[in-house]
Amino acid sequence: MKDANSLDHALQDNKGGQIQQHSDLKRQFRCVGLTMFLISCGLLILRTVFSFVSIAGVNLGANNGYVADLFFSLLMQIGILFLMPLFIFKFVLKKSTLQVFLFSNIRKTSIKNIIISVALGICFFIVTIAVSTIWQIFLSSLGYRSSTSSDADSVNGWWFFLSIFTVAVLPGFCEEFALRGGFLTTIDSVYNRTSVLIVGGIAFGLFHQFIGQVFFTAVGGVFLVYITLLTKSIWPSVIVHFINNGIGNYLAFAKQNGWLGSGFFDSIKDNIGIAFLILMVCFSIGMLLLLILKKINKNPQSNKRNKLLKNSLMVSFATVNPIVMPSTVLSSSPELDSTSNIKTKFKPDLYDYAFYLGALCVTITSTIFSFIWGL
């Protein structure tokens, strides 16, 4: 009898915990949706403001374009992509800064992961060139002709380092924070792994709001989501992102200034066969590195413990209620929460999706417009 009472109490506590957790997840899901919607709107508003600044002919000094670019990058990357989600998560979800960082996958990672990420970054850059080229050819076949220039200018010195800061360092961290942080954690609690990869990739592509980049960034996004989920840390994807942007930026400057590697892009164009070979080699090395990364981050002890916990919970719960076995029960243990192997799957309704769909609408519309106008 005593045992039955204590079991009843335990079940009631468990049910209360489930309701609380469901409510928390719902709030988290909506909060992240709001953040994504605000980010997508913020990026667009910032573009508009800067185009006005430009049309007004505001004189920002001799290196007008660079100064404007710097302001734009700082506002966009730090303001919209980093501080905005940070504060929303902190104040709406009532989390401490440390909790927000953990929620955003800012966790320590091993040296091995970092070393592999550096190598992966180089492979990623090469493969992205191929994907980008295919996409550009496809767009060209549709008559698309971008009016933006992607070449660097023939300036030296600290402008280059400043450019590295705005093109590689800031996006490397801030974009990853926004898209592989709280957003990824949240969608990971809603969808299965394959869906998370697809949604995460598409989100990354669409948030560029530019037809020229949407495809290869989406493909790259899938990869970055994968390594973040694999390592449970944002840092490997930050490193890969930084290396990709950094190399691209360096080569653009090198081309203009005759630095080492200045003929890189031209030599690719001139030697398609060799370029294809390099691509295949890099792709193979990248896949191999991914396998190593997967092996390194596989924790057999943790998996075994989770399996045991899961089994014990299933047995105890099934004894009382053999029909209903909600998945949320399985993650009520903090130990299980700390791993991503067993997750609570929260099912959002249309109301919860409102901001996500709004963000989707904003990003898709602006991307389509960039195609129509050839921006």
8 A C-beta contact, residue 43 and residue 76: yes
What is the rounded distance in angstroms from the CA atom of residue 188 to the CA atom of residue 183? 8
Residue from 197, 238, 252, 282 in contact with other proteins (CB under 8 A): 252
Read off the amino acid at residue 220: G
Residue list 213-242, contact with other proteins (CB under 8 A): 213, 216-217, 220, 241
CB-wise, 119 or 130, nearer to other proteins?
130
CB of 322 to other proteins, least distance (A): 31
Among 11, 84, 93, 155, binds other proteins (CB under 8 A): 155
> From the list 121, 201, 212, 236, which residue makes contact with other proteins (rule: CB under 8 A)?
212
**Residue labelled with tokens 């191929």:** 130
Taking alpha carbons only, the member of 141, 161, 143 closest to residue 152 is: 161
Interacting residue with other proteins among 265, 305, 310, 326 (CB under 8 A): 265
Which region, judged by CB under 8 A, interacts with other proteins, from 8-16, 43-51, 194-202, 282-290?
43-51
Give the footprint of other proteins on residues 120-149 (CB under 8 A).
125, 128-129, 132-133, 135-137, 143, 145-149
Question: What is the smallest separation between the CB atom of 372 and other proteins, expressed in angstroms?
Answer: 8
- Residue 263, interface with other proteins (CB under 8 A)? yes
CB closer to other proteins, 109 vs 363 = 363
Residue 361 binding other proteins, by CB under 8 A? yes
By CB under 8 A, tell whether 167 contacts other proteins: yes
Q: Rounded CA gap, 132 and 120, in Å?
A: 18
The Cα–Cα gap between 60 and 51 comes to: 14
| Eight-state DSSP code of residue 177 | H
With residues binned 3-state (H G I as helix, E B as strand, rest as coil), the percentages for the chain, rounded to 5, are 80, 0, 20
Residues of span 315-354 touching other proteins by CB under 8 A: 349-351, 353-354
Residue 8 or 151: the one with the smaller Cβ distance to other proteins is: 151
Evaluated on CA atoms 214, 237, 339, 194, the torsion sign reads positive
- The yes or no reply on residue 28 touching other proteins (CB under 8 A) is no
Tokens of 49: 């403001």
Under the binding rule (CB under 8 A), the answer on residue 253 touching other proteins is no
Residue 328 CA: distances (Å) to CA of 41, 317, 361: 34, 12, 31
Q: Out of 43, 120, 196, 293, point to the residue binding other proteins (CB under 8 A).
A: 43
Angle at 102 between CA 99 and CA 103, to 5 degrees: 85
Residues in region 46-105 near other proteins by CB under 8 A = 46-48, 50-52, 54-55, 57, 62-66, 69, 72-73, 76-77, 81
We find the least distance from the C-beta atom of residue 339 to other proteins, in angstroms, to be 31
Compare residues 81 and 86 and give the one whose CB is closer to other proteins: 81
* Distance in angstroms (rounded) separating the CA atoms of residues 63 and 302: 55
Burial (CB count within 10 angstroms: exposed 0-12, middle 13-18, buried 19+), residue 114: middle
Q: Is residue 17 within the footprint of other proteins (CB under 8 A)? A: no
Dihedral through CA 105, CA 111, CA 116, CA 117, nearest 10? 40
Give the number of residues in contact with other proteins, rule: CB under 8 A: 92
Query: Of residues 45, 280, 291, 308, which one binds other proteins by CB under 8 A?
Result: 45
